[in-house]
Each structure stands twice: as structure tokens, then as C-alpha cells.
Amino acid sequence: MKAGKMIGRRGMLISVSMGMLLSLPAATAWGQQMERKTALIPVESTSYTIPQQPEDISPLLNGEAIPMVMLKDVSGKEFDLNKAVANKPTILIFYRGGWCPFCSRQLSGLQEIVPVLEKSGYQLIAVSTDKPEGLKQAAMKQQLSYTLLSDADMKASKLFGLAYKAPKAYWEILPKTTGGMDTDLLLPVPSVFILDRKGVIHFEYINPDFKQRLNPELLKVVAEQIYKEL
């Protein structure tokens, strides 16, 4: 049974079986082979060539450090992602938006395992294209206790190498849900990253099929195993 696919830096697809994900050495071996630690990169210093398909993105790899990112919280206030990550190991989620039923289901599933993740020593942060008002509505509707952040302008998704050109079916909804900030009409490929306090990636799950998400129970098992290495 396939748990999903991971995307490599030139669009290469790596199939990940359920057994591989449960066996951490096997699950992380691919990323470790191409391990590259990078300095923090300001948003303004990078250019981004927009992939036209989700399979064509070039995401950050295991062993790389996340870039410097400022986002907006549910109140519209600036949120320093790197500062938050420095406080404790982080499970960082990128999802499309509260308007996506698959994302809503994922957010609810994550809420169910929050107590276990926090007991293990993690914090959970989820980032989407939604403007702050949309995040607040989703948090209240689904009774989410973890941090939701707005990447409405898609700067963070670009820096993580997750952004691609949204299909035409989304060109009408994105200007509304992002408050007009997503001027290039982009979407992020749904992703999960496990980070240490230095912002280095120790695990990632990135699937070009937005209908497929990492099972919360499986994420819980993987996170507990990885925490021993952090």
C-alpha cells in the first residue's frame, strides 16, 4: 500500500511505502544522500521560476535549513517563523486553504494528535494561502488549537520550493481568499516538514496529488521516532 510520493529537486518522484515511512532510517535515507545545509536566505534576495505543474516543483531537501520567513497570524500581525522554530522542534504543514475539503479534513486530523505531539516536545504550525481573516474562521469552525499562518502572497511557498501555477479552476477563488495578495495565482503543493530548533529539515512528505495527505497517526509515529534524533 502506497503512503504517497515525495518529490525530488528536479521533479523526480520517489515512491514511499508505508513500511518505509515507519522505518525512519529507510524513510530519511534519500534526503540524507543529498544533504545540503544552507544559510538563511531573505525573501527579497531570491527569484522564482514558476512551475506549471505540481510535479515540477523543486522543494527544499532533508538536511537543508529553512529560509528566513515572515508571515501573518490570524490577527494579521507579523509572525517570525524562524524565531518560533528556534523555541522548539516543529512540525510545519503547508496546505492550500480552508476552502479545500481535503485541507479541512487534514487540519481536523492534525488537531486530534496535537496533545500527543506537544507531549513529545513539538509545536505544530500550519501555513496556507488564506488571508488572516480566513485563518481565523477556519480555526474557530474546526476548533483548532495550533498556530495557523497566512502566506497569501506566496513568498514562503516560493522559498520552500512548493509553489506552482494554479489550474484555471482556481483563478477566481484565489484573489478572494488571499485578499488579492496571490497576484501570480499560485498554489503550494501540500507538504509536511519536521524541523529541529535550527530549522534544519529532518523529514518531509510532499505529494503532488493534493487529495493524498500524510495520515495523522503515521505522522505521530514518525515524529516520535525523529524526536530522538533532535
DSSP conformation letters of 1-16: -EEEEEE-TTS-EEEE
Res 155: pLDDT? 96
CB 186 within 8 A of CB 155: no
- DSSP code per residue over 70-118: EEE-TTS-EEEHHHHHHHS-EEEEE---TT-HHHHHHHHHHHHHHHHHH
The neighbouring-strand residues paired with 70 are 80
What is the DSSP secondary structure assignment for residue 182, as one 8-state letter?
-
The whole-angstrom separation of Cα 189 and Cα 142 is 22
Give the model confidence (pLDDT) of 41-65 as tens digits.
344 445 678 999 999 999 999 999 9
Structure confidence at residue 105 (pLDDT): 97
- Residue 228: pLDDT band with limits 50, 70, 90: confident
Q: Of 12-16, 55-59, 130-134, 151-155, which range is least confident?
A: 12-16
Q: What is the bridge-based pairing of β-strands 123-128 and 147-150?
A: parallel
Confidence of residue 169 (pLDDT cuts 50, 70, 90): very high
For residues 190 and 207, give the distance between their C-alpha atoms in angstroms, rounded to a whole number.
6
Q: What is the per-residue pLDDT for 229?
A: 83
Sign of the C-alpha dihedral, residues 18, 227, 159, 150? positive
Q: Which stretch of DSSP H or E encloses residue 170?
A: none
Task: Phi first, then psi: give them for residue 226, nearest 5 degrees.
Answer: -70, -30
Average pLDDT, the chain: 84
- Summarize pLDDT for 191-216 with one digit per residue, the tens: 999 999 999 999 999 999 999 999 99
CB-CB contact of 84 with 90 (8 Å): yes
Quick one: average pLDDT of 135-141?
Answer: 94
Mind listing the pLDDT tens digit for each residue in 82-123?
999 999 999 999 999 999 999 999 999 999 999 999 999 999
β-bridge mates for residue 48, sequence order:
none
144 band by pLDDT with thresholds 50, 70 and 90: very high
Write the class of the CATH domain 2-227.
Answer: alpha beta
Q: What's the DSSP call for residue 202?
A: E
CB 206 within 8 A of CB 59: yes
Q: Are 30 and 141 in contact (CB under 8 A)?
A: no
pLDDT attached to residue 22 = 41
Instruction: In whole angstroms, give the CA distance from residue 104 to residue 52.
Output: 25
**What is the per-residue pLDDT for 46?**
52
